[in-house]
């Protein structure tokens, strides 16, 4: 019984390792690697939430800071300096 459990655990671990490798290889698709890299670069999004500035049309980033004993969130445009507190 003890040997059977060890063997079953080994088989399960091997199957999980193979599935992780197979999924990674299928996602990469080495035959068309260059096209895959290009399409992924187009889908990268910023970590900071951005919206279009209402004043100049540039990029306004969301900032959050702990001010005056509370969390404050505001939008700030990188081009014109416009700020909008939420």
Determine if the pTM surpasses 0.85: no
Q: Mean pLDDT over all residues of the chain?
A: 77
Neighbours of 53 (CB within 10 A): 20
Strands laid side by side in the 50-52 sheet: 50-52, 59-67, 70-77, 83-85
| Nearest alpha-carbon partner for 48 in 67, 74, 70, 66 | 74
Q: How far apart are CA 28 and CA 21, in angstroms?
A: 11
pLDDT of residue 83: 86
Spell out the per-residue pLDDT of the chain, length 86, in tens. 788 889 999 999 998 888 877 766 666 655 555 554 555 555 555 577 788 888 888 888 888 888 888 998 888 888 888 888 87
């Amino acid at each position: 019984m003890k040997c059977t459990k060890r063997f079953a655990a080994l088989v399960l671990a091997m199957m999980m390792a193979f599935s992780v490798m197979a999924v990674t290889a299928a996602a990469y698709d080495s035959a068309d690697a260059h096209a895959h890299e290009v399409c992924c670069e187009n889908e990268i999004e910023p970590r900071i939430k951005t919206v279009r500035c209402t004043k100049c049309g540039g990029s306004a980033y969301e900032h959050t800071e702990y001010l005056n004993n509370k969390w404050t969130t505001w939008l700030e445009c990188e081009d014109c300096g416009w700020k909008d507190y939420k």
